[in-house]
Amino acid sequence: MVTTHAAPRAQVLLASNRGPVSYALKDDGSLEPKRGGGGLVSGLSAIGSDVESVWVCAALGEGDREAVRRGVGENGVRMLDIDAEVFADAYNGIANSVLWFVQHMLYQTPLEPVFDAEFRRQWASYETYNLAFAEALAAEAGDGARVMVQDYHLALVPGMLREMRPDLRIGHFSHTPWAPVDYFRMLPDDIARRLLRGMLGADRLGFLTRRWASAFMASVAGVLPADEGELFGSSAMGGAGDRAGGQGGAGRAFFRHAPAGSLPSRETDIAVHPLGADGDFLRRRSHEPDVEERMAALREQIGAGRKTIVRVDRTELSKNIVRGLLAYRHLLDEHPEWRERVVHVAFAYPSRQDLAVYREYTEEVARVAAEINSSYGTESWTPVVLHVQDDFARSLAAYRLADVALVNPVRDGMNLVAKEVPVVSDAGCVLVLSREAGAYEELGQDALVVNPYDVTGTASALHAALSMGEGERGERTKRLAAAGTALPPRGWFLSQLEALAP
């Protein structure tokens, strides 16, 4: 039985680890709010003031926790002050160090993972963390409300919430890839089943591409006992990854649940919604004065008349920044005619620096960049311009200057940078794109596609991109921009919300 702190009225609820606002605790004891953006924010604001909505999120730091204690908050936002140790176990111990690694296939399997007693202790925290969200959603939701749960942090919430509130329409969206079934089965059997059953508590599961949706269905078929239900799929599922499809959809892929306990038989639809770039916002924002200032500074660093290979990433292990730098070095070796004529503008913004493996990776990125500059640089030419301090205006400036965009992740749910650069690039750019990025399904036809592990192949693609004629480059850029903005964040959100309607 769920105890509510007020009469539940919300008809649309959103749940995510990170909310639309965060708080910093200043030296004088005051709290400074910082508001975020993105598709979830714009989508939720688009539903109209006549529909009451609530965003449930976690307190991420001491400022957020203090805001909860003082009762400070935004209207329509419920921030959960989950015990700090429980949160650390759930977020860093399980979500980011296990689930992220499985879905992105990042483990060095001779040595890891090791699912021992410490893992089980952290898993218990992950369940506690998910339960806190489920209870908050159950308390806030009005009769028959629609609930949109986000990502791998909250994979258990749909199943928990279904037991508490069978009347709700529940959706879950995965922003990551989904691992092939053989890799997913690396998880302990009971944990793998728990994750799948938790997600299948939803009425509708959303994925960024057909590939990830199909991998999820393969995991259901390969991991869950046959007597729990039947899986129905179609090779035409979704159609959203195709340029002709554009808007996403469920097709007719679904899991029909066998009766369990007191709950009736029901179905979970499997849907595809390929998140696109917000073209209108990017075009407007990329011509504001601070971006113009950053462009002038970058031009000075690059030097007149030189081409640019641009990448903008977090130093996330899956982004493959080091191999990108090695490919650039191979380009300079194999095609010395590009020396002094091209600069690799690499923005590698530190990510998850509270985890040792990420700190080590960030250091390796800086080391390889410095080695290239030391080996090939001259008094008038710095081969790699590396920036590690996050600066959105500077990123947009680099987008506008890009002749080539390098997006070579070893695995990525979508990768919005691949969609954003063609929208913003002033003179048109060539996209060198990993076939392991979700964006490949929509953009692969007009990109130069690479195997992200093949350094020499990536170097060849960079050479081809730099050598491409302006006419072909311009036509490719137009088609990439059109495909990349087909389902912008607002439409992406609303299409999912509409699909949850009874």
Q: Which pair of tokens denotes residue 418?
A: 């691949």
C-alpha span between 32 and 272 (Å, rounded): 38
Contact between 62 and 321 under an 8 Å Cβ cutoff? The reply is no
Contact between 150 and 171 under an 8 Å Cβ cutoff? The reply is no
pLDDT digits (tens, 9 = 90+) for 375-403: 999 999 999 999 988 899 999 999 999 99
Q: What is the pLDDT along the chain (502 residues), one digit of tens a residue?
A: 344 445 568 999 999 999 999 999 888 888 989 887 666 777 677 776 678 999 999 999 999 999 999 998 888 999 999 999 999 999 999 999 999 999 999 999 999 999 999 999 999 999 999 999 999 999 999 999 999 999 999 999 999 999 999 999 999 999 999 999 999 999 999 999 999 999 999 999 999 999 999 999 999 999 999 888 888 765 445 433 333 233 444 455 788 887 655 557 789 999 999 999 999 999 999 999 999 999 999 999 999 999 999 999 998 899 999 999 999 999 999 999 999 999 999 998 887 777 788 899 999 999 999 999 999 999 999 999 999 888 999 999 999 999 999 999 999 999 999 999 999 999 999 999 999 999 999 999 999 999 999 999 999 999 999 999 999 999 999 999 999 999 999 999 999 999 999 8
Q: In which region does residue 358 sit, left (phi positive, over 0), alpha (psi from -120 to 50) or beta (all else)?
A: alpha
Please tell me the predicted confidence (pLDDT) of residue 246: 37
Q: Which pair of tokens denotes residue 160?
A: 């928990």
C-alpha span between 439 and 443 (Å, rounded): 6
Report the run of H or E that residue 434 belongs to, with start and end: strand 430-434
pTM, to two decimals: 0.92
Identify the DSSP state of 245.
Answer: T
pLDDT digits (tens, 9 = 90+) for 458-494: 999 999 999 999 999 999 999 999 999 999 999 999 9
Residue 166: asked if its preceding bond is cis (omega within 30°), the reply is: no
Please tell me the predicted confidence (pLDDT) of residue 249: 47
SS3 assignment for 176-207: CCCCCHHHHCCCCHHHHHHHHHHHCCCCEEEE
pLDDT digits (tens, 9 = 90+) for 259-281: 655 557 789 999 999 999 999 99
Please tell me the predicted confidence (pLDDT) of residue 240: 37
C-alpha span between 420 and 409 (Å, rounded): 16
Q: How far is CA 454 from CA 121, 123, 202, 211, 308, in A?
A: 39, 36, 39, 22, 21
**Cβ neighbourhood burial of 214 (10 Å; 0-12, 13-18, 19+):** buried
Closest CA to 118 of 97, 101, 145, 142: 97
Please tell me the predicted confidence (pLDDT) of residue 410: 97
Contact between 309 and 342 under an 8 Å Cβ cutoff? The reply is yes
Please tell me the predicted confidence (pLDDT) of residue 6: 54
Closest CA to 324 of 468, 480, 454: 454
